[in-house]
Amino acid sequence: MTRHATDTDPRVALPPDDALRAVLHNEVHARPSARIRLPALVVHVAVLNAGVARDDECIHLRRLPGQAALSIDDLAGNFLRLRLDGCALKWERHTEFTRYSLVQPLPDAAGLDTDGPARLDALAVDPGWLRTIPGRTIAAIKLAMVHGELDDPQALIARAQRWFGAEAVAASLMGRSSQGRSHSCAVTDFHLRDDGFEHMLVIAPPSTTDTRAGRISQRLLELETYRLMALRGLPAAKSLAPGLNDAEATLATLTEQLEAGRASDQQLLERLVALAARLERATAEHDYRFAATRAYDTLVAQRVAELREAAIPGTQTLGEFLQRRMNPAIATVAATARRLASLSQRVERTSALLRTRVDIATEAQNQQLLAKLTRGQQLQLRLQATVEGLSIAAISYYVVSLLLYGAKAAKSAGLPVDPEIAAGALIPLVLWGVWRTTRRIHARLHASTGD
């Protein structure tokens, strides 16, 4: 039964929705930025979720105070924000990793002019809860966001250096506008501390809104997480290098043997098949990782561009630091992926050459076989013609013998017949008759077979 729209139906002017319309429309709102009031501390942990079910993560989230009623349906959208006592927790599940971001007020004693890192250990949740997050840690960051004026960036960096000790830092003025103003400054040394975390510091004026602070933290945390995910392809690329070297040498040897004809086709084919199998296995194992590296590298470039960095004299920007370190690694991964694909194509071309040679040899063998068959048929025809000639002679002999016996019988009956003369006179007629009969039989056989 068809439902008819009424005047009170708010959707009267539209056709029925596509099944995915609401999901696709709401995707832009799926992971909203947090609202962060400065000064604040953001504790960010990203773990690889291979082999970790959503149920496992739900069970772990229920261990937080006041979250015992959390259900798996609450995690269906891959994004969840929980309000806890004095802090907020954001959970995000991605294809390869899951992120947990804890936002809490920064202790008063951890201001810009204090020994900040020593004050970042006071977490709003049980440290044991962080330690037992299901998965393997890929990124762990403590991001401190404090108030500070940006009028003198170099003096600001000198003050921020106390947070990082003697390590050289990378820093950027972020959000550079057309008027040359920036909305914040980010400082980090990209080093892991003894507790497994790396530290970042964001300095923003007191006028910074909560939504802007949330966007700043999201960009920086995503930048570092995607950087580490992009670099996961580098160990795979390095591990493939010796095998690719060996495969290239093997392929060169096989190609040389194919050209010189120093090995049998069967031996070459077996070695080519084994080489192709090795390359296909390597492709199956690492192709996804290399593709993911390209995708994450693109995201890193986008996040760097979104920072709209401005340099501080004497200090590398975050984008410059990452570019100098990441570009060689990403180039290595890309070169290895191209090398693997090229090797597979070259093996395929060599296999095609071998198949061509085998096809030519097979065709030559077939031609020789056909020639032998043709010669056999010709001999058979000659033999058949000889046999037919002998058959005509034999049949004629028997017919003449019968006629001779008949003539002898007639002579015995008193007829004036000379049997020998009569038989000799009928020989030509008998030969012609037998030959003519044989020809008619051949004609009928040819007519019945369509030849």
- The DSSP code sequence of 205-265 is -TT--HHHHHHHHHHHHHHHHHHHHHTTHHHHHHHHHHHHHHHHHHHHHHHHHHHHT-S-H
* 170 three-class SS: strand
The pLDDT assigned to 298 comes to 94
HSE-CB at 148 with a 13 A cutoff on CA atoms is 24
Cβ atoms 342, 281 nearer than 8 A: no
The pLDDT assigned to 430 comes to 75
- Cis ω before 32 (30° cut-off from 0): no
The pLDDT assigned to 3 comes to 47
User: How far, rounded to the nearest angstrom, does the alpha carbon of residue 50 sit from its chain's CA centroid?
Assistant: 18
Q: Residues 106, 111, 112, 117: is their CA dihedral positive or negative?
A: negative
Residue 89's Cβ-count burial label (10 Å; 0-12, 13-18, 19+) is buried
The pLDDT assigned to 11 comes to 58
The pLDDT assigned to 387 comes to 67
H-helix or E-strand containing 91? Answer: strand 87-93
pTM for this entry: 0.76
Residues 167, 176: Cα–Cα separation, whole Å: 26
Cβ atoms 182, 150 nearer than 8 A: yes
The pLDDT assigned to 378 comes to 75
List the domain boundaries for the chain.
Answer: 30-224, 233-367, 374-449
The rounded average pLDDT for each run of 10 residues, N- to C-terminus, in the chain (451 residues) is 52 77 73 83 94 93 92 89 90 94 82 66 86 94 91 87 83 84 91 90 92 93 95 94 91 82 78 88 92 94 92 91 91 94 88 75 78 78 69 76 78 77 78 78 71 55
Helix axes 318-412, 233-260, angle to 10 degrees: 40
The pLDDT assigned to 2 comes to 44
Residues 262, 254: Cα–Cα separation, whole Å: 10
Residues 171, 169: Cα–Cα separation, whole Å: 6
The pLDDT assigned to 406 comes to 79
The pLDDT assigned to 1 comes to 43
